[in-house]
C-alpha cells in the first residue's frame, strides 16, 4: 500500500484520489496541480497512514521513510533546491488536512529546513539577510510550540523585550543583526526548557513535524471539535509537505485570501484581501490592515491603499484567470489562499467557500443561469435549514451583544422589546404600541394572546417541542425556551440571571436562531425575500413529489402559510381557538358542567364562534384541503386558576365558586399527557365533537355558497389507539354532517381520518384503516409515547443523551428514524394493505425538519405539514429528498 502522493511540477499522482484518502487540502492541491495551476510542489501523506500510526502505537512503519524521501526528492527536482543545502536550501511547510476542514484545530509548521547553516544560505540566495533571520526565528518559535510542546509565552516575551529595548513597536523594525540575536535567545530558551539543543538536522525536523501533525489529531481541542461536528476519530488527518513560497520577499511579493464570489451577498465579483511583503499568518493575525483585491471594492469602501488590481496588474490578471478556471472546474464558489513571490503567483489552497444563506441562494441561482450547474444541482446546493435565516428578522451582525443567558433556539429570528411577565400585560402594552418580550417560566395555552402580542418569547423551562416552542414557531415569533439559568418572579415582575436583574419594562433582545438572550437593544435587519428565493423555490417545486401543508389555526397564520407556498392545512389544532378571551368563560363553563345538559348550554355558545373560525380558514385556503383536528388537550389545561376567573364562570352559570372549585379539583390529573385527552374527550363527551363537527360543516357550506368553491374538510380524530374509538367518533361526525346537509339542503365532500400518534395505533393501522380515510402521523406524541420520554420534560436530560450519542439528534426535532420511523413505516404498510392509496401525512414538528422529510419521502407519504415559517424549508427539503 502506498501512503505518499506527490503533486506539482507536472508529476501529480494524487489526481482524482478522494478527500477521504488525501484530506481536503491534499485532494484540492492535487486537483489544482493536475489542471495546470501554479501549485508549489509537494506531497501528501495520506489519512490511512494516520490511522495506521495510531493502530501501531504511534509509530511509523519503516517503509514510510523511503516514501517520504521520494517525496522530498520530487520537491527538490522541481524546485532545483536541496533540502538541508547550506548554499541554497529548500524550505517546506508541513500542514494538516483532514477530510473536512477543522479551522484552527490542528498544527502547522512553516519554514522547516532552516538551521544555523542553511539560514546563511537562504540569506545569500535571497539577497535578503533580514528575511532569512526573520524566517529562522519564526521557525524556531513555531517548531518549539507545535513539535516540542514548549510554552510559547517565553518566545513572545523575548520578542517583546527585543523591541522594547530598542523603542520599536513593529516586528519589522528589527534589523537582521537584531533578529540574529533573537534567534540566539530562542535557542537558549529551547535548551533550557527542552533540555536539548534545537534540532539542526533537517530530517529530524521533518519527522518531528510529521509526527506532531498526526499527534494533533488526538489533541484535546481536536477531540472536542470532532464531537461538536460529528466527525469520527477514525477519519484521521493527512499531512501535506510542500515547498515554501514567500510573500515577504519585498514589494513584488504578497500574500492573500480570496473568494471567487462575495460570500455574504453572493454577488458575482471577486472578493478578498491581500498584503504586500507579508506571510500568510500576517493577513489572518490582523497586525496590518489588508488591502482590497479589486479596484471596485476599494472604491466602494473609499479606501486609499491601492488594490491588488492596481498595485500588481499583471499578477492580478493571472489570479483572476485562476479564479475563473477554479469555478469552472469545481462548479462552485471557491475560497482560496495564494502567495506572490517576486511577481510569481502560487496557489496554496482552494475549497468550497462558506457563505450566508442569502449568498447560497444567489450563487446557486446565478450559476444555474450561467449554465455552470443544472437547476436540480442549484436546488440541491442550498441547505434548507439555512433558509430560516432569510425568513425572519435577524440581528445586525455588526451590533454589540451583551449576552446574559442562553436557552434553546426554539423559534428562529431576532426580537427586541420591553420585558413583561404575563400575557395580559403583554397584550395591553402591545395595544399601546410598545414592543414587548413575554417572559414566562413556561407558557400554557392561556398565554397565547400574550404570545401573539409579543415580539418574542422567553421561557425558563421547556424543550424544542414545548408549548412555547411549538406555538411560537407556528406564529413565526422568535422564541428562546428552556433558558435554565434564569429565574422568574412573575408576581414581582423580575427575572434574575447570573447576579443581574431584568425588571418589567427593561429592554431585552432575543435571538431565536441561537438561543441567546441579550440585555438592551441589539439592532435587527428585516428579511429580504428577493427574487432568487422565489426562483429557487419554483425550481424546487418542479422536482418535489411530497405536497407541503401547514400547521395553522388562525386566518393570519393560514395566509402566511399560503404566501410561503403551503398547499393546504395539515393540522388545525382547534383547542388553540378555545383560548380567545371572549370564549374562555364559555369553555370553562363547558368543562366545569357536571352533566351533558350543562355542557350543551355552553357548547351552544361556542358553536357560532367555531363556525366563524372555520369559515375564515376555508376562505383563505379556498379549494385546498384543510385538516381540522377535534379537541385534543387535557381539559384541565383550560381550568380557571384565579378567584376572579372562577367568579366569572360562577356568574355565567349560576353555580357557586366553591362548587366550581370542587369540580376543578376533581379534574386534576397525575399524568395529563396520558390522561383525559384526545378522542377520550369525544368518547366521554361526544357532544363536544358533535358541536365541532357541526361547526365545520356549516362553515364549509357557507363558504361553498358564498364563493362557489367548496372547501375539502378532513376531520381528524386525535390520540386514537383502537379501531372502535375511531368508529365511534366517525359516527358522531357523520351524524353531524348528515344533519347539517339535510338542514341546508346541500352537501360537501369530506373525509374522516385519524392521527397515528400512539404505538398501538401504528401496530393496528390495518384495522384502523378500515374506518379511517386518512392517517396523519402525529410524531410529537408518537415520539413521546414510543420513547417513553415526556416532550415537556425532555430538555432536562436529552442534551446529555445527544452528547453521549444515545440519540444522534434531539428526537423531538429530528425523527428517530430507527425507532419511531419503524412504527411509521409499518403503519403506512398496514394502512395501505387495507385501504390502497390511503392518504398519508405527517403533522408533528418533524414535518418541517429536512432529515425527517427525507425519511417521509422514502416511506412515500403524500404530504408533510410544517409550521408556516417552515413551509419553504419543507418545500426545498422535499425537493432534495426527491432528487
Active site residue 153: no
Check whether 773 is labelled as a binding-site residue: no
* Interaction partner, residue 557 (Mg ion, ligand PEP, none; CB < 5-8 Å by kind): none
What is d(CA 727, CA 549) in angstroms, rounded to the nearest whole number? Answer: 26
Q: Which does 504 bind (CB under 5 to 8 A by kind): Mg ion, ligand PEP, none?
A: none
For strand 487-489 and strand 494-497, is the pairing parallel, antiparallel, or unpaired?
Answer: antiparallel
- Which 8-state DSSP code applies to residue 291? E
Q: What is the spatial distance between Cα 32 and Cα 47, in angstroms, rounded to a whole number?
A: 20
Give the shortest CB-777-to-ligand PEP separation in angstroms.
7
For Mg ion, the closer of residues 31 and 781 by Cβ is 781
Looking at the Cβ atoms of 327 and 781, the one nearer to Mg ion is 781
- CB-nearer residue toward Mg ion: 418 or 785: 785
Least CB distance from residue 775 to ligand PEP, whole Å? 12
Nearer of residues 260 and 779 to ligand PEP, judged by Cβ: 779
CB-nearer residue toward Mg ion: 101 or 852: 852
Of 445 and 555, nearer to ligand PEP (C-beta) is 445
Give the integer Cα–Cα distance in Å for 764 and 786.
Answer: 15
The answer to whether 629 is annotated as binding is: yes
Residue 710 vs 719, nearer CB to Mg ion: 719
User: With respect to ligand PEP, which residue has the nearer C-beta, 282 or 553?
Assistant: 553
DSSP state letters, 571-615:
EEEGGGGGG-TTTHHHHHHHHH-SSHHHHHHHHHHHHHHHHHHHH
Q: Are residues 8 and 39 in contact, defined by beta-carbon separation less than 8 angstroms?
A: yes
Residue number with the smallest Cβ distance to Mg ion: 781
Q: Which residue has the cell 338542514?
A: 743
Neighbouring C-alpha atoms within 13 Å toward the C-beta of 471:
27
52 interacts with, out of Mg ion, ligand PEP, none, CB within 5 to 8 A per kind: none
Q: How far is the CB of 833 from Mg ion (least distance, A)?
A: 25
Partner in contact with 185, chosen from Mg ion, ligand PEP, none, beta carbon below 5 to 8 Å by kind: none
Task: State the nearest-atom distance from the C-beta of 528 to Mg ion, in Å.
Answer: 36
When CB distances are held under 5 to 8 angstroms depending on the partner's kind, the choice from ligand PEP, Mg ion, none that residue 844 binds is ligand PEP
Residue 554 interacts with, from Mg ion, ligand PEP, none (CB under 5-8 Å by kind)? none
Q: Which listed residue (467, 558, 679, 846) is catalytic? A: 467
CB of 354 to Mg ion, least distance (A): 38
Q: How far is the CB of 718 from ligand PEP (least distance, A)?
A: 7
- How far is 558 from 570, CA to CA, in rounded Å? 11
d(CA 225, CA 229): 6
How distant is the alpha carbon of residue 849 from its chain centre? 11
CB of 718 to Mg ion, least distance (A): 6
Phi-psi domain of 300 (left: phi exceeds 0; alpha: psi -120 through 50; beta: other): alpha
Q: How far apart are CA 268 and CA 366, in angstroms?
A: 8
Task: Give the Cα separation of 524 and 527 in Å (integer).
Answer: 10
Closest of 738, 570, 594, 576 to residue 663, by C-alpha: 594
Name 121's Cβ contacts closer than 8 Å, sequence gap at least 6: 85, 86, 87, 88, 89
The DSSP secondary structure of 335-353, one letter per residue, reads EEEEEEETTEEEEEEEEEP
Give the C-alpha separation, 742 to 735, whole Å: 11
Pairing of the two strands 82-83 and 89-90: parallel
- H or E element that contains 67: helix 63-79
Closer of 325 and 722 to ligand PEP (Cβ)? 722
875 assigned binding-site residue: no
Query: From Mg ion, ligand PEP, none, which one binds at residue 571 (CB under 5 to 8 Å depending on kind)?
Result: ligand PEP
DSSP result, 809-846: S-TTTS--TTTHHHHHHHHHHHHHHHSTT-EEEE-SGG
CB of 486 to Mg ion, least distance (A): 29
Q: Which helix (H) or strand (E) holds 525?
A: strand 524-525
Half-sphere exposure of 834 (CA within 13 A, CB side): 19
The answer to the question of whether 757 is labelled as a binding residue is: yes
Closer residue to Mg ion (CB): 283 or 630 = 630
- Minimum Å gap between C-beta 778 and ligand PEP is 3
Q: How many residues does the chain have?
A: 883
Beta strands in 342-470 (DSSP E): 344-352, 394-395, 403-406, 408-411, 414-420, 436-440, 456-459
Instruction: Find which of Mg ion, ligand PEP, none residue 567 binds, CB within 5 to 8 Å per kind.
Output: none
- Annotated binding residue 778: yes
Comparing CA positions, the residue from 55, 65, 315, 350 lying closest to residue 203 is 65
User: Smallest distance, Å, CB 452 to ligand PEP?
Assistant: 18
To Mg ion, the closest distance from the beta carbon of 844 in angstroms equals: 7
Site residues for ligand PEP per CB under 6 A: 571, 573, 632, 757, 778-781, 843-844
Q: For residue 843, indicate whether it is catalytic.
A: yes
Q: 16: annotated binding-site residue?
A: no
**313-352 CB burial, b ≥16 within 10 A, e <16:** eebbebbbebbeebbeebebbbbbbbbbbeeebbbbbbbe
C-alpha span between 789 and 798 (Å, rounded): 9
The site for Mg ion (CB under 5 A) is made up of: 757, 778, 781
> How many Å apart are CA 612 and CA 559, to the nearest integer?
16
Distance CA 536, CA 378 (A): 8
Q: Which of 416, 479, 558, 843 is catalytic?
A: 843
Looking at the Cβ atoms of 185 and 757, the one nearer to ligand PEP is 757
Query: Is 779 assigned to a binding site?
Result: yes
843 interface partner picked from ligand PEP, Mg ion, none, CB below 5 to 8 A per type: ligand PEP
| Strand runs labelled E in 190-343 | 237-243, 254-259, 271-276, 291-292, 334-341
CA distance 655 to 589: 10
Query: Which residues carry out catalysis?
Result: 467, 843
Q: Which residues are annotated as a binding site for substrate?
A: 573, 629, 757, 778-781
Binding annotation for Mg(2+): 757, 781
Annotated binding-site positions:
573, 629, 757, 778-781
Amino acid at each position: 500500500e502506498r501512503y505518499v502522493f506527490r503533486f506539482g511540477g507536472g508529476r501529480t499522482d494524487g489526481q482524482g484520489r478522494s478527500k477521504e484518502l488525501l484530506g481536503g487540502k491534499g485532494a484540492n492541491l492535487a486537483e489544482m496541480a493536475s489542471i495546470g495551476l501554479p501549485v508549489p510542489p509537494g506531497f501528501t501523506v495520506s489519512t490511512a497512514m494516520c490511522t495506521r500510526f495510531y493502530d501501531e502505537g504511534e509509530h511509523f512503519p519503516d517503509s514510510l521513510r523511503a516514501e517520504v524521501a521520494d517525496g522530498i526528492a520530487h520537491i527538490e527536482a522541481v524546485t532545483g533546491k536541496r533540502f538541508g543545502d547550506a548554499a541554497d536550501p529548500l524550505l517546506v511547510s508541513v500542514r494538516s488536512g483532514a477530510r473536512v476542514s477543522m479551522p484552527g484545530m490542528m498544527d502547522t509548521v512553516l519554514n522547516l529546513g532552516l538551521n544555523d547553516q542553511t539560514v546563511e544560505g537562504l540569506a545569500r540566495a535571497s539577497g535578503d539577510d533580514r528575511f532569512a533571520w526573520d524566517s529562522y526565528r519564526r521557525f524556531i518559535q513555531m517548531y518549539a510550540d507545535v513539535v516540542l510542546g514548549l510554552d510559547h509565552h517565553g518566545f513572545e516575551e523575548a520578542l517583546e523585550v527585543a523591541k522594547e529595548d530598542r523603542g520599536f513597536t513593529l516586528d519589522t523594525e528589527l534589523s537582521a543583526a537584531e533578529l540574529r540575536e533573537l534567534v540566539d535567545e530562542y535557542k537558549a530558551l529551547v535548551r533550557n526548557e527542552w533540555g536539548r539543543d534545537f534540532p539542526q538536522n533537517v530530517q529530524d525536523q521533518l519527522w518531528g513535524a510529521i509526527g506532531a501533525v498526526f499527534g494533533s489529531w488526538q489533541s484535546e481541542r481536536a477531540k472536542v471539535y470532532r464531537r461538536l461536528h460529528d466527525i469520527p476519530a477514525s477519519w484521521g488527518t493527512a499531512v501535506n509537505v510542500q515547498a515554501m513560497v514567500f510573500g515577504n520577499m519585498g514589494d513584488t511579493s504578497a500574500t492573500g485570501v480570496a473568494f471567487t464570489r462575495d460570500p455574504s451577498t453572493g454577488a458575482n465579483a471577486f472578493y478578498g484581501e491581500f498584503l504586500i511583503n507579508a506571510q500568510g499568518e500576517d493577513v489572518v493575525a490582523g497586525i496590518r490592515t489588508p488591502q482590497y483585491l479589486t479596484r471596485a471594492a476599494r472604491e466602494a469602501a473609499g479606501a486609499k491603499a491601492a488594490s491588488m488590481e492596481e498595485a500588481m496588474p499583471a499578477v492580478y490578471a493571472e489570479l483572476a484567470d485562476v479564479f475563473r478556471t477554479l469555478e469552472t472546474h469545481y462548479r462552485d464558489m471557491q475560497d482560496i489562499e495564494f502567495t506572490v513571490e517576486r511577481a510569481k503567483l502560487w496557489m496554496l489552497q482552494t475549497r468550497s467557500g462558506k457563505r450566508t444563506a442569502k449568498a447560497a441562494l444567489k450563487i446557486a441561482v446565478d450559476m444555474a443561469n450561467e449554465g455552470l450547474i443544472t437547476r436540480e444541482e442549484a436546488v440541491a446546493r442550498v441547505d434548507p435549514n439555512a433558509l430560516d435565516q432569510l425568513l425572519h428578522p435577524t440581528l445586525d451582525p455588526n451590533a454589540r451583544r451583551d449576552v446574559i443567558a442562553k436557552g434553546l433556539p426554539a423559534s428562529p429570528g431576532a426580537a427586541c422589546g420591553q420585558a413583561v411577565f404575563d400575557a395580559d400585560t403583554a397584550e395591553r402594552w402591545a395595544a399601546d404600541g410598545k414592543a414587548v418580550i413575554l417572559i414566562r417560566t413556561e407558557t400554557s395555552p392561556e398565554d397565547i394572546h400574550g404570545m401573539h402580542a409579543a415580539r418574542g418569547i422567553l421561557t425558563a423551562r421547556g424543550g424544542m417541542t414545548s408549548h412555547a416552542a411549538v406555538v411560537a414557531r407556528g406564529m413565526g415569533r422568535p422564541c428562546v425556551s428552556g433558558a435554565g439559568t434564569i429565574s422568574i418572579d412573575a408576581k414581582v415582575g423580575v427575572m434574575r440571571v447570573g447576579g443581574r436583574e431584568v425588571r418589567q419594562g427593561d429592554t431585552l433582545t432575543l435571538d431565536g436562531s441561537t438561543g441567546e438572550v441579550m440585555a438592551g437593544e441589539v439592532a435587527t435587519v428585516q428579511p429580504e425575500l428577493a427574487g432568487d428565493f422565489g426562483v429557487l423555490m419554483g425550481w424546487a417545486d418542479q422536482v418535489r413529489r411530497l405536497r407541503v401543508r401547514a400547521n395553522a389555526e388562525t386566518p393570519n397564520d393560514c395566509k402566511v402559510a399560503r404566501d410561503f407556498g403551503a398547499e393546504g392545512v395539515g393540522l388545525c389544532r382547534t383547542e388553540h381557538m378555545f383560548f380567545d378571551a371572549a370564549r374562555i368563560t364559555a369553555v370553562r363553563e363547558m368543562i366545569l358542567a357536571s352533566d351533558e345538559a350543562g355542557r350543551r348550554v355552553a357548547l351552544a355558545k361556542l358553536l357560532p364562534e367555531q363556525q366563524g373560525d372555520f369559515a375564515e380558514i376555508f376562505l383563505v385556503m379556498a379549494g385546498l384541503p384543510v385538516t381540522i383536528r377535534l379537541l385534543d388537550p387535557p381539559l384541565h389545561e383550560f381550568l380557571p386558576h384565579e378567584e376572579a376567573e372562577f367568579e366569572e364562570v360562577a356568574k355565567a352559570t349560576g353555580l357557586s365558586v366553591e362548587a366550581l372549585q370542587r369540580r376543578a379539583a376533581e379534574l386534576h390529573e397525575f399524568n395529563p399527557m396520558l390522561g383525559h385527552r384526545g378522542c377520550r374527550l369525544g368518547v366521554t363527551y361526544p357532544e363536544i365533537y358533535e358541536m365541532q363537527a357541526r361547526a365545520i360543516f356549516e362553515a364549509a357550506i357557507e363558504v361553498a355558497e358564498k364563493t362557489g368553491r367548496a372547501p375539502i374538510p378532513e376531520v381528524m380524530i386525535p390520540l386514537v389507539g383502537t379501531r372502535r374509538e375511531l368508529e365511534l367518533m366517525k359516527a358522531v361526525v357523520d351524524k353531524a354532517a348528515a344533519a347539517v346537509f339535510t338542514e341546508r339542503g346541500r352537501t360537501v365532500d369530506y373525509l374522516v381520518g385519524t392521527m397515528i400518534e400512539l404505538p398501538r395505533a401504528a401496530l393496528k393501522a390495518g384495522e384502523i384503516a378500515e374506518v379511517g380515510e386518512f392517517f396523519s402521523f402525529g410524531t410529537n406524541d408518537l415520539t413521546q409515547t414510543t420513547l417513553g420520554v415526556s416532550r415537556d420534560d425532555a430538555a432536562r436530560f436529552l442534551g446529555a443523551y445527544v452528547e453521549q450519542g444515545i440519540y444522534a439528534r434531539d428526537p423531538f426535532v429530528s425523527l428517530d428514524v430507527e425507532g419511531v420511523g419503524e412504527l411509521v413505516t409499518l403503519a403506512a404498510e398496514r394502512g395501505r394493505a387495507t385501504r390502497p392509496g390511503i392518504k398519508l401525512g405527517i403533522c408533528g414538528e418533524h414535518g418541517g425538519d429536512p432529515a425527517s422529510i427525507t425519511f417521509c419521502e422514502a416511506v412515500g407519504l403524500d404530504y408533510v405539514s410544517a409550521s408556516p415559517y417552515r413551509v419553504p424549508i419543507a418545500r426545498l427539503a422535499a425537493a432534495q429528498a426527491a432528487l
